Amino acid sequence: MKLEVKDLYKRFGEVVAARGVSFRVRGGEILVLLGPSGCGKTTVLRIIAGLEYPNRGDVRIDGRSVLHLPPERRNVGLLFQSYALFPHMTVYANVAYGLRFHGVPRGERKRRVRELLELVGLRGCERRKPHQLSHGQKQRVALARALAPEPNVLLLDEPLSALDAALRAELRGELRRILKERGTTSVYVTHDQEEGLSLGDRLAVMREGRIEQEGSPEELYFSPQTPFVASFLGGANLWKGILHHGPEGTRVESEGVWIPVEVVDLPEGEEVFLFFRPEDVEPGEGPLEAVVEEVEFRGDHWEIRGRVGVRSVTFISRERHSPGEKLRLAFRRLPRVLVEPH
């Protein structure tokens, strides 16, 4: 099932939570709405579910508007941070609960529940109560329950955020596998960049009620269009500077340091941001001289924070360096030029 969100606008008093939000999700695709708290991503999810009504815009599932339909008639599944399991019911009964209201015959209910418990790795747990389960198992039950009615679209609002880091990393891989295996069209909301990059087929980064950039995880990580997207998706070096075109190519001057960059269609003298990831720069013969300030061991490399003049810089090294040490830095790929959107 395809989902289309068109020009959503939603105001709560003086607060505008959604400002012309539009995107499409192809059948079986996972779109991640990624952004900081308060950017409007949960509001968009609630509008799709029918829990909020927009001031403007439309929501279409398989080409048909669902705005006039109440939540229970949209066939949209919901999975939230809180498991919301019925404590007095068994795992089996929790998963089967919604199927009775969809008129699913008893034999088909049994088949679906068994199939889903197998899918989420809980075969043999049918008779357990929620208090007998771990946090990860509870979230798997909640996922199975959300998938049981075979929703046209599944909406997931920070479903892993209450779990510890190790379990969160384990479950996000399982969650993606299950959603892709079922072919479920999904919209996943999170503020966790690593979660978004690993789960989504596509990402839509939101800021102050708007989508700032949409694309594949690789596209947004390596080719962000704005300083906000660059800084929100992982470590980023962002230096203000002035753009110059000349016989030596396109360069940016930042606090007296001249750095070659990719060619851009911007005028001479434009104030820009110079963007490069920590993995884009390494010790070697290059245009930068850095003083090491902090060193963190990351297993197969060291992440080093230092200074180039007054500018802070973070880079990767395969060898250990010590605070106070001076290094020349070379670029593995040319930095990009970014500007703030108007």
The residue from 168, 194, 228 where one domain ends is 228
Residue 342 lies in a domain: no
Q: What is the four-CA torsion angle of 278, 284, 285, 291, rounded to 10 degrees?
A: 70
Task: Quick: pLDDT tens for 158-204.
Answer: 998 878 888 888 889 899 999 999 999 999 999 999 999 999 999 99
What is the domain extent for residue 30? Answer: 3-228
Residue 333 lies in a domain: yes
Residues 106 and 180 occupy one common structural domain: yes
pTM (two decimals): 0.90
Which pLDDT belongs to residue 166?
Answer: 83
Q: Do residues 131 and 87 touch, judged by C-beta distance below 8 A?
A: yes
Which pLDDT belongs to residue 81?
Answer: 79
Residues 65 and 185 occupy one common structural domain: yes
**Measured in Å, how far apart are the chain's first and last C-alpha atoms?**
35
Please name which of 305, 311, 297, 300 lies closest in space to residue 325, comparing C-alpha atoms. 305
Residues 6+ away with beta carbon under 8 Å from 23? 4, 5, 31, 204, 211, 214
pLDDT along the chain (342 residues), means of 10: 96 96 97 95 96 97 96 92 88 90 86 93 93 91 92 94 84 91 95 94 97 96 95 92 91 90 89 95 91 94 94 94 95 92 78
Which pLDDT belongs to residue 163?
Answer: 82
Residues 202 and 254 occupy one common structural domain: no
